[in-house]
Structure 1
Amino acid sequence: MMNLKDILVINPEVQKAIDENRPVVALESTIISHGMPYPQNVETALTVEKIVRENGAIPATIAIIGGKLTVGITHEEIDHLGKKGLNVTKASRRDIPILVSRKEDGATTVAATMIIASLAGIKVFATGGIGGVHRGAETTMDISADLEELSNTDVAVVCAGAKSILDLGLTMEYLETKGVPVIGYQTDELPAFYTSESGFKVNYRMDTPYEIARALKAKEDLNMKGSMVIANPIPIEYAMDYSYINNAINDAIVEAEKLGIKGKETTPYLLDKIQKLTEGKSLTANIQLVYNNVKLGAQIASELCKL
């Protein structure tokens, strides 16, 4: 019989911080393998960890390495995932037991990162954007497993909203149905990944990491399961024009439909296509919004440890 202690591998630095109630921020690994080309993916991942440290927290990049749920992968393991790129399985909830049983590698999505972070006792996770309800989902039923995980797993997620390739209105409706609050950090409007504009209101606005940490602590004290989404707009100097990026997204979606691309391959394809259509501007925006989110994630984790 498999024992969790044999499967869950926590970096000693991360475990020490958890034991001492010091701030830790979980980070995903899909962005390394599926988010951008090598070596830019590795450079970005290492910079993300550096920003977390500069803001007073310990980074815990999460991946499945040789079938082990690894919390706080090494720089060598980050490089390994970066070099393997798309050959690494993009791992969501459904993939975890298969990869563990086969002793294979997996780059964790938002859902899988949340699950493993929760197993390790990490309460704050920072990423780029969450998955959601895809456009046309009323006929395709293409809905990210991230949303179900947000309703079940007690890990707060700092993001730049949902990815703007999605149906943001239906995504907000789904989160409302599941009782997941969407908090706007210094904004009343849901950010749309590449832009701070979406036309949709968040549930609550909060203006300081301390205020967010207090809400997270209250949820914990009330023993309420599920996540909070902390929607953090991309810095204005890196935000893309709303009409410009939406035109690129629409063109990419049309192309994906023509090629019959579906399921878990949709998001990587669309992000890559949008990058090409925008001549790399979307990738620059993507990187900067991740940097912005991990900084806020570290600040929230720091405040939470004080409560």
Structure 2
Amino acid sequence: MFTGLISVPCLLGLVRIYLKYGGLISVIFHNFSNKFELEILSSQLKIDVSLRNKINSGQPVVAIETAILTHGMPIEPGNQFVKLAFNACKQHGVSPAFLSVVNGALRIGASEKELSALVNNPDSKKISRRNMGIALAMKWSGGTTVSAGIFMANQAGISVFCTGGIGGVHREFSKNFDISQDLFALSKTPVIVVSSGAKAVLDLTKTFEALEFFGIPVVGYRTDEFPSFWSRNSGLSLEVTANSPEEIISIWKHHLSSGVGSALVVANPVPEKNQIPYPEIDGLIKSACVEADTLGISGPDLTPFLLKFLNDRTEGRCLETNISLAVSNVVLGAAVSSLI
């Protein structure tokens, strides 16, 4: 069949080329497809005009995720967090860029009124890097997770991103293979991510190991222990501690110059007065996981269920701590951003 179109020696030659250079060709094609994907998605960014001018002129801007609002807090506490975040940024002379998806557009920057509308929308989706394209096609509105948020921040030219806690490896991983896309996104997106460690509902030990596996450096801010969201402790020791925003910037500049290409996670413990001791919260988390398993709750619905369960069992303490740590991360993120 092929001999009428191409000679046998020529065909054999092409086979030899593929066998010798096929791996390189695959890498080139993979990199090209990734670049094409990034260009398509970045062309969908809708950056607030004022923020665009500030980014272009080198003025400090800090990115903030919104899944914490749409899927991590009730409406009124969410609105409270927004006000506190705007005030914290104002005090540092930094502009906040809340990241969201509105009617299929990737939005960089939103007013308090716009964020309130997003939070009050019962159809708001939880949007990660995985379903960003679907969100654009289906004209969804929703809050962005870490994986989507750091992509948007990086494409907009914003170097500092704030969240409550990163995602990671879930408990019972060997049975459900549940692992957050945050880890993959962090491994390939060069931004500073300020968080209170990883969410305590995860398997923290496996998450910590996964961060190392994916080549994602973690720097403790005034701590030598990896924080566990509601708690300042986890029993997991950190390699490096930064005691000031200036030290974070120094590490960040050297991280960039190394060409590694991953994010730099800055682990900022929740303020001590607001923390819930790890042994206390860990026991409740185990009960919550059993309840979720009994009800068949998994996937994207699992974390919101666990957060609500824990907040109910702690009579609102978890939510108060969540707001405290989220605001604390914005304060630190703003301080770091002001130095870039």
TM over 0.5: yes
Alignment partner, residue 227 of structure 2: 191
Q: How far apart, in 1, do the equivalents of 2:240 and 2:232 lie?
A: 16
Q: How far apart, in 2, do the equivalents of 1:67 and 1:24 lie?
A: 23
Partner SS state of residue 270, structure 2: coil
Contact 1:39–1:83 (Cα < 8 Å) also in 2: no
Alignment partner, residue 105 of structure 1: 141
Contact 1:111–1:145 (Cα < 8 Å) also in 2: yes
Q: How far apart, in 2, do the equivalents of 1:93 and 1:4 lie?
A: 10
Alignment partner, residue 84 of structure 1: 121
Contact 2:169–2:206 (Cα < 8 Å) also in 1: yes
| Deviation digits for residues 41-63 of structure 1 (CA, Å, limit 9, x no counterpart) | 12212321221221221100000
What letter matches 1:125 in structure 2?
A: F
What letter matches 1:293 in structure 2?
A: N
Alignment partner, residue 257 of structure 1: 293
Partner SS state of residue 93, structure 1: coil
Moved more, 173-182 or 236-245: 236-245
Q: How far apart, in 2, do the equivalents of 1:283 and 1:140 lie?
A: 27
Which segments of 5 or more consecutive residues in structure 1 lack a partner in the other structure? none
Partner SS state of residue 201, structure 1: coil
Q: 1:231 to 1:67 in 2, by over 3 A?
A: same
Contact 2:41–2:133 (Cα < 8 Å) also in 1: no
What letter matches 2:79 in structure 1?
A: V
Alignment partner, residue 66 of structure 1: 103
Alignment partner, residue 32 of structure 1: 69
The structure with the largest alpha-carbon Rg is 2
TM-score normalised by the chain length of structure 1: 0.95
Q: 1:17 to 1:92 in 2, by over 3 A?
A: same
Contact 1:181–1:203 (Cα < 8 Å) also in 2: no
Alignment partner, residue 218 of structure 2: 182
Which segments of 5 or more consecutive residues in structure 2 lack a partner in the other structure? 1-38
Give the CA deviation at 1:223.
Answer: 2.6
| Deviation digits for residues 142-189 of structure 1 (CA, Å, limit 9, x no counterpart) | 000001111011111100000001111100111101111110001110
Alignment partner, residue 22 of structure 1: 59
Partner SS state of residue 266, structure 2: strand
Partner SS state of residue 39, structure 1: helix
Q: Does 1:142 align with 2:172?
A: no
Alignment partner, residue 302 of structure 1: 338
Return the structure number with greater relative CO, CA threshold 8 A, min gap 6: 1
Q: 1:80 to 1:206 in 2, by over 3 A?
A: same
Q: 1:258 to 1:5 in 2, by over 3 A?
A: closer
| Deviation digits for residues 44-84 of structure 1 (CA, Å, limit 9, x no counterpart) | 12321221221221100000111111000222220111111
Residues 204-243 of structure 1 mapped to structure 2, 5 A cutoff: 204-243=240-279
Q: How far apart, in 2, do the equivalents of 1:228 and 1:203 lie?
A: 13
Give the CA deviation at 1:3.
Answer: 6.1
Moved more, 219-228 or 269-278: 219-228
Alignment partner, residue 165 of structure 1: 201
TM-score normalised by the chain length of structure 2: 0.86
Q: How far apart, in 1, do the equivalents of 2:191 and 2:182 lie?
A: 12
Q: Does 1:248 align with 2:284?
A: yes
Contact 2:200–2:229 (Cα < 8 Å) also in 1: yes
Q: Does 1:272 align with 2:308?
A: yes
Partner SS state of residue 237, structure 1: helix
Q: How big is the alpha-carbon RMSD for the aligned residues of Structure 1 and Structure 2?
A: 1.5
Q: How many residues align?
A: 303
Alignment partner, residue 114 of structure 1: 150
Q: How far apart, in 2, do the equivalents of 1:6 and 1:259 lie?
A: 41
